[in-house]
Amino acid sequence: MKTLLEARELVKTFGVGEAATHVLRGLSLTLEAGEMAALLGPSGSGKSTLLTILGTLMKPTSGSLRMLRQDLVAADDAALTEFRNRHIGFVFQFHNLLPDFTALENVIFPTAVREGRETPEARARGRDLLVRMGLESRIDFPSAKLSGGQKQRVAVARALMNTPELVLADEPTGNLDRASAMQVMDLIGEINQDQGTTFLISTHDEKIAARCRRQIVVGDGLVTG
Amino acid sequence: MLYALKIATRYLTASKAQTALLISGVAVGVFIFIFMSALIGGLAEFILSRTVGDISHVTVEAETADPEVLIDADGHLLAAVEPGRLRTATLRDSATWVPLIEAVPGVRAVSPQITGAGFLNRGSQVAQVSVKGLEPGRESAILNLEGYIVAGSARLGSGVIVLGRRLAEELDLSVGQVLRLQSSGGVSSVLTLGGIFQTGTGMLDGSSVFVSLPTARNLFALPQGVTRIEIKLDDLNAADATALRIRALTGLDAVPWTDGAEQLMEALNAQAQTGYFLKTFALITIVIGVASALVLSTYRRRPEIGIMRAMGAGRGFVVVVFVAQGALVGLIGGVTGAVLGYLALLPLPGRDEFRPGTLPLDITQGSYGLAITLTVLGAILASILPARAAARVDPVTAIGQ
Ligand SMILES: Nc1ncnc2c1ncn2[C@@H]1O[C@H](COP(=O)(O)OP(=O)(O)OP(=O)(O)O)[C@@H](O)[C@H]1O
Ligand SMILES: [Mg+2]
């Protein structure tokens, strides 16, 4: 298998001196292309911190991060913005959608922001993705009025919009009921199978984790299993 | 750019009541700006037309030669020659200068005059008057004599005199009566009262008389030339420049009306300053309003800014989204305020019909374009800082997991 992402000796320390919190203490992690991995660990173990660093939204205190042959620690804000747009999709637990926009407008945002306008091609692809997520009846629905499960499926569709190599999902089913959570996981599994998109999904839920072929457990700022 | 504009528009329409309130605030500011412009402009126009509308804008007067003075090497005054009291200075070549002056751009009318002092006799009554000899046919070139006539006509034929109502009442005169006018030089003429005027200015109505230029020539024993050339301009404010031009062209001492009108100019200036001051405040209010609204908006939308940044929106994109909101508010509020201002001024009397006791608002001086331009610029300026703050939002804390 081809290596997609390689993180070496990641250290993340918040604050300084007495007040310093050492969240990551030299964590190393490699993701292969096409993997579907669960990120497990107790609350406060640094799962979200790791995902934001891997997603280039935050820089590590030290360590290296390479993806698709690019050094993501050295890159500047503009380069990282461009990189995220093309290669990384995100699904967050809360605050996922732009509430004043429709489901479709949310889904095509990553393409529209790159092209400077909403093209018919982007709309067509956005529609396809929403249909695939079982949301054909909600395409032009204001996103603020969608249910929690529907919102997360729209978020997954948006994460896939620019066909990224990697999707990082931070407790995507954290506030969904079991049925909705499983529906979202089914969709993620399908995409992973069909398109080979790599997923890294943080979760507290053993049943969700069991849907992934690989489980990564963090504890004490390191990968423990 | 287009997409950022779409998002900006959506943000504005998402909170309609708030946006409407903000736009109304801007519109009120622009309304005040326009109202002040129309008022200050109209007031200046009104005051000027009242004070200088009927006077000469540029005046050429014959120079009285300076008395000759003899001073010795030590600075002692040895001798001084005083001019004779009755000596009248004349502009001898007025016939050649008048057409020259008439050709100067911006000159509306030229009135060559012979002026002097005299006594009006009617029976046993005598009144001291200042006599103005005007060219027949140009009676209303400077002072709108025709417009002020209350009896008879302003036509200054030969042997005709026109005078003010107060003087007519004092001497108990009516049109058609004959009276005698004696110049300070002792020459007298018998004249028929052709018209009575009332300007509302005491000095004119009580002690000025108008005769024809030939009559005045006779009275003041001036076989050729005139004593004074009065010039009216299209634009009052061009008096200084036009006076300079006439001076350069003819070598005559042309004096603009602004000479000696410093107090009036100062008053008008102070008025204009007050106007600038109030207009600046209207603009500052707009800027503060827009800035505070945008600061709130960027704060409220922090999570969304975080999401957009995570999805690949650059800092510049975020800046444009928020600056565009400011610009749109400025543009819509500016145009609304300008239209409301115009509509509010529309039913008021025009600049030529100002009546004392009402505000002389001049609808043509509303500075509509300037108001809109400054408002849009101000709104853009006001949104730059909040927009930059928005662009620096840290996506991780904003999404706040
Ligand atoms: N900006 C920050 N400043 C200081 N400390 C922080 C900051 N962000 C995270 N931390 C700390 O880092 C630790 C790890 O946080 P993180 O959110 O990564 O944990 P997590 O594994 O995602 O937990 P959970 O399962 O509850 O979501 C916590 O102790 C947290 O308090
Ligand atoms: Mg977390």
Task: Give the side-chain half-sphere CA count within 13 A for B263.
Answer: 1
* Same domain (yes/no): B235, B297: no
* Same domain (yes/no): B318, B207: no
Tell me, yes or no, whether B312 lies in a domain. yes
- How many structural domains is chain B composed of? 2
Beta bridge partners of B226: B91
Residue that wins the pLDDT comparison between A171 and B46: A171
* Same domain (yes/no): B17, B130: no
Q: What is chain A's mean pLDDT, rounded?
A: 93
Strands A36-40 and A214-219: parallel
Q: How confident is the model at residue A41 (pLDDT cuts 50, 70, 90)?
A: very high
Q: Are A10 and A222 in contact (CB under 8 A)?
A: no
Q: How confident is the model at residue B81 (pLDDT cuts 50, 70, 90)?
A: low
Tell me, yes or no, whether B70 lies in a domain. no
Tell me, yes or no, whether B276 lies in a domain. yes
How close B9 comes to chain A (CA, Å)? 11
Cβ-based burial of A22 (10 A; exposed 0-12, middle 13-18, buried ≥19):
middle
Mutate to test the pocket of ligand 1, among A49, A216, A220 (most ligand atoms within 8 A of CB): A49
**Touching check for B10 and chain A: CB below 8 Å?**
yes
* Same domain (yes/no): B13, B88: no
* Same domain (yes/no): B229, B276: no
Find out whether the beta carbon of A168 lies less than 6 Å from any atom of ligand 1.
no
Tell me, yes or no, whether B74 lies in a domain. no
Q: Do B313 and A113 touch (CB under 8 A)?
A: yes
Q: How confident is the model at residue B85 (pLDDT cuts 50, 70, 90)?
A: very low
Q: What is the pLDDT of residues B163-204, one digit of tens each?
A: 999 999 988 888 999 999 998 888 889 999 999 999 888 888
User: In the prediction, which pLDDT does B257 show?
Assistant: 87
* Same domain (yes/no): B285, B369: yes
Q: What is the pLDDT of residues B230-289, one digit of tens each?
A: 999 888 888 888 999 888 888 888 889 888 788 888 888 898 898 899 889 989 999 999
Q: How far apart are CA B388 and CA B38, in angstroms?
A: 37
The CA dihedral of B307, B312, B317, B322, to the nearest 10 degrees, is 0
* Residue whose CA lies nearest to ligand 1 atom number 2: A14
Please name the residue ranges forming H helices in A5-133: 47-54, 77-87, 103-115, 120-132
* Same domain (yes/no): B250, B281: no
* Same domain (yes/no): B252, B300: no
* Residue whose CA lies nearest to ligand 1 atom number 17: A48
Find out whether the beta carbon of A58 lies less than 6 Å from any atom of ligand 1.
no
Q: Which residue has the tokens 């804000």?
A: A77
* Residue whose CA lies nearest to ligand 1 atom number 28: A44
Q: What is the pLDDT of residues B93-104, one digit of tens each?
A: 777 788 888 888
In A, minimum Cα distance to B302 occurs at A95
Tell me, yes or no, whether B58 lies in a domain. no
Find out whether the beta carbon of A197 lies less than 6 Å from any atom of ligand 1.
no
Lowest average pLDDT, out of A7-16, A136-145, B95-104, goes to B95-104
Mutate to test the pocket of ligand 1, among A10, A11, A18, A21 (most ligand atoms within 8 A of CB): A21
Q: With CA atoms as reference, report the closest residue to A187 among A208, A164, A215, A216.
A: A208
Mutate to test the pocket of ligand 1, among A48, A203, A208 (most ligand atoms within 8 A of CB): A48
Q: What three-state secondary structure class fits A69?
A: coil
Q: Are A23 and A221 in contact (CB under 8 A)?
A: yes
Amino acid at the residue B260: G
Find out whether the beta carbon of A137 lies less than 6 Å from any atom of ligand 1.
no
User: In the prediction, which pLDDT does B368 show?
Assistant: 93
* Same domain (yes/no): B220, B280: no
Average pLDDT over residues A52-64: 96
* Same domain (yes/no): B313, B247: no
Lowest average pLDDT, out of A106-110, B37-41, B260-264, B392-396, goes to B260-264
Q: For chain A, positions 15-74, list CB contacts with chain B under 8 A.
A: 48, 52, 55, 57-58
* Same domain (yes/no): B227, B367: no
For B336, other C-beta atoms within 10 Å of its C-beta total: 18
User: In the prediction, which pLDDT does B75 show?
Assistant: 72
Domain boundary among B217, B245, B260: B260
User: In the prediction, which pLDDT does B100 show?
Assistant: 85
User: In the prediction, which pLDDT does B352 show?
Assistant: 66
Burial pattern B105-128, b for ≥16 Cβ within 10 A else e, equals: eebebbbbbbbbebebbbeeeebe
Q: Which domain holds residue B92?
A: 84-260
Tell me, yes or no, whether B280 lies in a domain. yes
**Touching check for B190 and chain A: CB below 8 Å?**
no
Q: What is chain B's mean pLDDT, rounded?
A: 87
For B77, other C-beta atoms within 10 Å of its C-beta total: 9
Q: What is the pLDDT of residues B2-41, one digit of tens each?
A: 899 999 999 999 999 999 999 999 999 999 999 888 988 8
User: In the prediction, which pLDDT does A104 show?
Assistant: 97
Residue that wins the pLDDT comparison between A6 and B47: A6
> Does B377 have pLDDT greater than 60?
yes
Number of Cβ pairs < 8 A linking chain A and chain B: 74
User: In the prediction, which pLDDT does B294 show?
Assistant: 93
* Residue whose CA lies nearest to ligand 1 atom number 16: A46
Find out whether the beta carbon of A174 lies less than 6 Å from any atom of ligand 1.
no
How close A46 comes to chain B (CA, Å)? 12
User: In the prediction, which pLDDT does A117 show?
Assistant: 94
Q: How far apart are CA B351 and CA B360, in angstroms?
A: 7
> Does B53 have pLDDT greater than 90?
no
| Contacting residues of A for B400, CB less than 8 Å apart | 94-95
pTM score, whole prediction: 0.77
* Same domain (yes/no): B250, B272: no
The H or E element that residue A190 is part of is: helix A178-195
Find out whether the beta carbon of A94 lies less than 6 Å from any atom of ligand 1.
no
User: In the prediction, which pLDDT does A154 show?
Assistant: 95
Tell me, yes or no, whether B201 lies in a domain. yes
User: In the prediction, which pLDDT does B351 show?
Assistant: 65
Residue A174 CA, ligand 2 centroid: distance in Å: 10
Q: What is the pLDDT of residues A199-209, one digit of tens each?
A: 999 999 999 99
Q: Do B399 and A92 touch (CB under 8 A)?
A: yes
Mutate to test the pocket of ligand 1, among A18, A45, A224 (most ligand atoms within 8 A of CB): A45
Q: What is the pLDDT of residues B210-232, one digit of tens each?
A: 999 999 998 988 888 888 899 99
Q: How confident is the model at residue B67 (pLDDT cuts 50, 70, 90)?
A: low
Tell me, yes or no, whether B78 lies in a domain. no
Lowest average pLDDT, out of A62-76, A166-180, B43-57, goes to B43-57
> Does A79 have pLDDT greater than 50?
yes
Q: How far apart are CA A22 and CA A220, in angstroms?
A: 9
Q: How far apart are CA B185 and CA B175, in angstroms?
A: 27
Q: How far apart are CA A170 and CA A165, in angstroms?
A: 17
> Does B83 have pLDDT greater than 60?
no
Domain boundary among B260, B277, B297: B260
**Touching check for A170 and chain B: CB below 8 Å?**
yes
| Contacting residues of B for A112, CB less than 8 Å apart | 3
Q: How confident is the model at residue B84 (pLDDT cuts 50, 70, 90)?
A: very low
Q: What is the pLDDT of residues B339-369, one digit of tens each?
A: 999 999 888 877 666 666 677 888 888 889 9
> Does B1 have pLDDT greater than 70?
yes
User: In the prediction, which pLDDT does B123 show?
Assistant: 81
Percent helix / strand / coil, chain B, rounded to 5: 55, 20, 30
The answer to ipTM > 0.90 is yes
Find out whether the beta carbon of A43 lies less than 6 Å from any atom of ligand 1.
yes
Domain boundary among B235, B260, B285: B260
**Touching check for B391 and chain A: CB below 8 Å?**
no
**Touching check for B14 and chain A: CB below 8 Å?**
yes
User: In the prediction, which pLDDT does A210 show?
Assistant: 93
Closest in B317, B400, B401 to A113, CB measured: B317
From the CA of A46, give the closest atom in ligand 1: 18
Q: Do B1 and A116 touch (CB under 8 A)?
A: yes
Amino acid at the residue B31: F
**Touching check for A97 and chain B: CB below 8 Å?**
yes
Find out whether the beta carbon of A102 lies less than 6 Å from any atom of ligand 1.
no
**Touching check for A102 and chain B: CB below 8 Å?**
no
Counting residues of chain B whose pLDDT is more than 90, the rounded percentage is 42
Average pLDDT over residues B51-55: 78
How close A119 comes to chain B (CA, Å)? 10
| Contacting residues of A for B312, CB less than 8 Å apart | 81-82, 84-86, 110, 113-114, 162
